[in-house]
Chains A and B, each alone.
Chain A
Amino acid sequence: MRSLLILLPLAGLILLNLPGGLLAGLALPAVAALAIFEIVLAVYLPTAAFPALEQVQQLLHLSTPLDSLARVLLLSIGIVMLASLLVLHATVKAQRRRFNVANVLLISLMGMNGVVLVHDLFSLYVFLEVTSVASFVLIASSGEDTGLEGAFKYLVLSAVATVLMLSGVAMMFLFAGSTDFSAVAAALQNNSGQLLLKIAIGTFGCGLLIKGGLVPFHGWLPDAYQSAPAAISVLLAGVVTKVSGIYALFRLGISVVGLQTFSPVLLAVGALSMVVGALLALRQNSLKRLLAYSSVSQVGYIVLGLGCAGMGGPAGKLGLAAAIFHLFNHTIFKTLLFVNSAALEQRTGTSDMSVMGGLGSRMPITSTSSAIAALSIAGIPPLSGFWSKLLLIIALWQAGLYAYASLAVFVSVLTLAYMLTVQRRVFFGKCREDLLSAREASGGIVLVEAALALVIIGVGVLMPYVMNSFLLPLKGGF
């Protein structure tokens, strides 16, 4: 079943590009259908096995069962892909470009699914590259100067990440004789203390940190997010960074290396990202750049949770659960925020906040959902962000990492500050004269905004249910 997640996009690619353009019109719906299929699969993973698919799964090394982390990510990928599609539909009207973007989205989807599903290091690398290449093309798809610039910088840093990762893989391969997760894990167990292996873990980890956009490896991220077209920013911020960088880190930590070895690194990098990201977000004029730095900051939280998980014990388990929960929450609210910026761009033609003002009365749904996302990201009860941040801080405190816990609280305040600045500059107050003609965004975007806002509120308010059915199994699952 799981292999379908990779095979179906591939099949879709082939079918869509049949000569004669027979099925070309089905591009967007096809992607949408796949995204929905993915969501459904993530939630209701069926256990039935199909023999033919079994073979393919063996080939792709997908035979190990899915764990909850992978399912969370599959769900996120499905949701964000759907959101991105709706934004694409609303913002890009040219058929040709839509078709092209849809195709590349299929490649991206395939790549991300692959990253989530594989069980060996090299396949991980391959699918990461597939995703990255698709991202480069997508960022540049608008054809603007800035898009090309952003894509180029992303490419350069991604290549550096590749080099670092592969150096690590090679050295691990040296000791393990294979790149499979379990083989490498065994080799690391047997040969712990080897210099080369330590270097290998370090470089592989750094490669992933570059992909994830953590400080000081984040140079490409603001430029890429800012310059990408609206729909692609949504996709990038929502899942690409997370899947490539953060999920891979989780995998590395959980299944291969063991989190204890590099948890101090994760803690330090996480804390640094939180602070630097939040500080930089304070004085941005471009909404998308601000949201990009906000992503850096929030991913810092996630990595901080992961680092806490490496400290072991019940606090560690809580930290891991909190990190995964925050991963999901951040996907939702960052996607929502970027969809809002897409709505603003659609109606005002810019994402420069200094020329915006008082749009709350003109764009009520955008304004409200933005407020909800802002409150959630700042950690205001009873929204979802509050719970994940609270769990994280509790886990840090219980693990004895008091300084990090206090830092997390302090950065929450900064987060609230810059998000409120956004709200004030863009939505509150009297409407500017030149913006009086702005209307609410088009239907598809509004639908996404409303749905995501409801998810934020729902997860927040229904927290006890979420806790029982979602988090506690995660805690126990590792």
Chain B
Amino acid sequence: MSAIMMWAPILIPLAGGLLVLPMRGKSGLREIVALLATLANLVVAIANFNSVGTWTGQWVGHGLDIVLLNYQFSAFILAAAASFALLVCLFCFRFMREKTSANQFFAYMLISLAMVDGAVLADHLVTLLFFWEGLLITLMGMIAIGRPGAFKTAVKAFVIVGISDLCLMFGMAMAGLASGTLVMSKMHLPVTDAFNALAFVLMMIGAIAKAGSMPFHSWIPDAAVDAPLPFMAILPASLEKLAGIYLLSRISLDLFQLTPESWLSPLLMIIGAVTILLAVMMALIQKDYKKLLSYHAISQVGYMVLGIGTALPVGIIGGIFHMINHAMYKSCLFLTGGAVEKQAGTTDLAKLGGLARKMPITFACFFVAACSISGVPPFNGFFSKELLYDAALDRHFIFYIAALGGSFLTAASFLKLGHAAYFGKRSSEHDNVREAPITMLLPMLVIAAACIFFGVHNSWPLRNLIQPVLGARLEGHDFAGWPHSMRLVWLTVAVLAGAIMNHIAGATVYGSGINAVDHIHYAPLLKPIYEQAERRAFDPYEIMLDVAAFIARGAWSVDRAIDWVYNRLAVGAAMLGSTFLKLLHTGDYALYVAWALAGAAIVVWYMVS
């Protein structure tokens, strides 16, 4: 593989982004350039697909080089990222048309794509870190150009992801120290001793935080409201998941040898399970289309982390499959949300209703994606979730219960969302809502179709894309086709049926789709917890800010004391000395002569003795 082909996935979007940045105004040129850049990126990614190659370049010496590696996993991620970028770019044609900061959005999106490509291709820890950190800036930029007042959220995102990046950096340093090299494909550390385990944990934090798992998740719902919607579709939904779970897989499979016996595996699984449940419970009570979807994005990451945490082949395959599936259906869901926002003007569920008739294609895509995320056969989500259930059950049934419970609540919340937005009485304000334009519909349709394809014909992605990642560790298993344990399938179907019944019951009792889950929302134990959560009492970021403010007050008092010492003592002494000396200089030359003679006398006396 030539160097150009290795660098093209990074350089093409980067060039595109930089070109687009100065293109303000209403020109269509910017959209064309962005489209061409993403298209070219996709072409390159597909061309690179089957080749394996590395590229090494000296940078500052001492082992700090730039190393790129293209193999099945990274090629796969590159192609996936390129496809999503192309589709979202197409979607943005109409969506970003009236926004003034569209040029920044496209630029940031393209540069983010370049950074993700670089991070995925990187084989050297420092190269990885460089591209990983580059995502921080575009992340912040993309949020900041949203609603007025979005800057606070942008800072929050920056701080949270920045702290996790710091952990990643420390973890990298420790891993490099332990293994003696910084090249990722050469590292294969056991996690039995504490130092390596700590390095693993730190790097893991970096990876899962980027993907959006708890407790690094609190910026995502805020960004959902403040940032422009296609940002949600491209970054938290797809690119970040791809990059984060890719790194997590590489850490668990290549850099470290994660085994089911190690204590790290239950750690990952617990993080995964907690994320699944807590996030989906928060999602349940949301009354805004975008915020609801964003909590689900967090929740689904829990599944992926759980899967990889099991350290079993079935779990890892399930996790990675879930990653790509989630990227697909979540971005499709966000795109439908974008279509709704553009056509109906709002994403407040209380104001929406009856859109199924007005926007049928959007609704159809929504339906497909919602079924996928809930794990309805034969869509793609079902198959990846079955693999995950299998792995979770293999480890401990409690994780299985958590995953299953998550599915129940996921299905419930999507039933609520679908009902509230697409069914029910039409609000009179939205009588003239029409279907979304074709450039917005096309991406949704393509992704929905892919969801169906990845579900029905799941042998293609599993055999060609995902299973080669594990290679020999697969131990001959082949997970394509229908799940092998029918018992699990029946349990899943039962849970889904239960969710449907729960929804119908709730809708009937409370009168409308949006309130269908109020019985959970206002349940005796959960009600106060929900209220606190809504007020961000559990938000780790807010807690951290309070602690920082407290420390700052203390530091200020210390500073005042030091200031007093300096101002009174030092400055006062100098001024006193100065005044005294000034008085000595009377202007009388005779005095000066006397000084000179006295000085000379002292010098001569010194010289003589």
Contacts and interface: CB of A to CB of B under 8 A. Distances in A.
Given A203-B600, A279-B581, A219 B607 contact: no
B579 interface: yes
Interface string B579-609: 1011001010101110111111001101110
Contacts of B585: 219, 222, 280
A116 interface: no
Contact of A202 (B574, B589, B597, B607): B607
A153 B592 contact: yes
B575 interface: yes
Contact of B582 (A264, A265, A283): A283
Interface residues of A, number: 37
A198 B605 CA distance: 9
A206 B601 CA distance: 9
A282 B575 contact: yes
Nearest to B571: A417
A265 B603 contact: yes
Contact of A157 (B579, B582, B596): B596
Nearest to A283: B578
A157 B578 contact: no
Contact of A199 (B579, B596, B598, B604): B604
Contact of A210 (B574, B578, B581, B596): B596
Given A157-B589, A198-B608, A220-B589, A206 B596 contact: yes
Given A199-B607, A265-B603, A280-B582, A156 B574 contact: no
A202 B600 contact: yes
B578 A201 contact: no
Contacts of B511: none
A201 B581 contact: no
B577 interface: yes
Contacts of B603: 202, 205-206, 262, 265
B525 to A, nearest CB: 63
A218 B589 CA distance: 11
Contact of B595 (A153, A161, A217, A417): A217
Contacts of B606: 202, 264-265
Contacts of A199: 604, 607-608
B587 A223 contact: yes
Given A279-B578, A283-B579, A156 B593 contact: yes
Contacts of A160: 593, 596-597
B500 to A, nearest CB: 72
A164 interface: yes
Contacts of A265: 603, 606-607
Contacts of A276: 581
Given A209-B599, A217-B595, A198 B579 contact: no
Interface in A204-249: 205-206, 209-210, 216-220, 222-223
Given A276-B581, A279-B581, A280-B581, A202 B608 contact: yes
B575 A283 contact: yes
Contacts of A161: 596
A157 B593 CA distance: 6
A26 to B, nearest CB: 38
Interface string A90-109: 00000000000000000000
A428 interface: no
B362 to A, nearest CB: 60
Interface string B440-482: 0000000000000000000000000000000000000000000
Interface string B278-298: 000000000000000000000
B599 A219 contact: no
Q: For the side of the interface on B, what is the size category?
A: 20 to 34
Interface in B359-377: none
B589 A414 contact: no
A209 B593 CA distance: 13
Nearest to B597: A160
A21 B581 CA distance: 50
Interface in A264-317: 264-265, 269, 276, 279-283
Given A206-B604, A265-B606, A219 B589 contact: yes
A433 B575 CA distance: 30
A164 B596 CA distance: 10
Contacts of B589: 152-153, 156-157, 219-220
Interface string A145-165: 000000011001100110010
A220 B578 contact: no
* Residue among A210, A217, A261 with max Cβ neighbours from chain B (10 Å): A217
B607 A262 contact: yes
B593 A203 contact: no
Contacts of A206: 596, 599-600, 603-604
A282 B608 contact: no
B19 to A, nearest CB: 35
B519 to A, nearest CB: 68
A195 interface: yes
Nearest to A414: B574
Interface in A389-417: 414, 417
A279 B598 contact: no
B604 A202 contact: yes
Contacts of B598: 216
A231 B85 CA distance: 70
A199, A202, A222, A276 pick with most chain B CB within 10 angstroms: A202
B571 to A, nearest CB: 8
B340 to A, nearest CB: 56
A206 B596 CA distance: 8
A306 to B, nearest CB: 15
Interface in A159-199: 160-161, 164, 195, 198-199
B578 A219 contact: no
B596 A219 contact: yes
Nearest to A201: B607
B577 A219 contact: no
B600 to A, nearest CB: 4
Contacts of A264: 606
A263 to B, nearest CB: 11
A265 B575 CA distance: 27
A340 B581 CA distance: 27
B155 to A, nearest CB: 32
Interface string B105-119: 000000000000000
Interface centre among B579, B589, B598, B608 (most CB of A within 10 A): B589
A216 B595 contact: yes
A201 B608 CA distance: 10
Nearest to B596: A217
A262 B603 CA distance: 9
Contacts of A269: 599
Contacts of B595: 216-217, 219
Contacts of A222: 585
Contacts of A220: 589, 592
A157 B600 CA distance: 13
Contacts of B575: 282-283
A281 B578 CA distance: 8
Contact of A216 (B596, B607, B608): B596
Nearest to A276: B581
A167 to B, nearest CB: 10
Nearest to A284: B582
A380 to B, nearest CB: 19
A160 B592 CA distance: 10
Nearest to B605: A202
Given A206-B600, A206-B603, A283-B575, 12 more contacts: A153-B589, A153-B592, A156-B592, A157-B589, A198-B607, A199-B604, A202-B606, A203-B600, A217-B600, A219-B596, A276-B581, A414-B574
Q: Which 8 A-B pairs have the closest CB atoms?
A: A219-B592, A202-B604, A206-B600, A202-B607, A216-B595, A282-B578, A283-B578, A153-B589
8 contacts: A153-B592, A202-B604, A206-B600, A209-B599, A210-B596, A216-B598, A219-B589, A261-B607
Interface of A: 152-153, 156-157, 160-161, 164, 195, 198-199, 201-203, 205-206, 209-210, 216-220, 222-223, 261-262, 264-265, 269, 276, 279-283, 414, 417
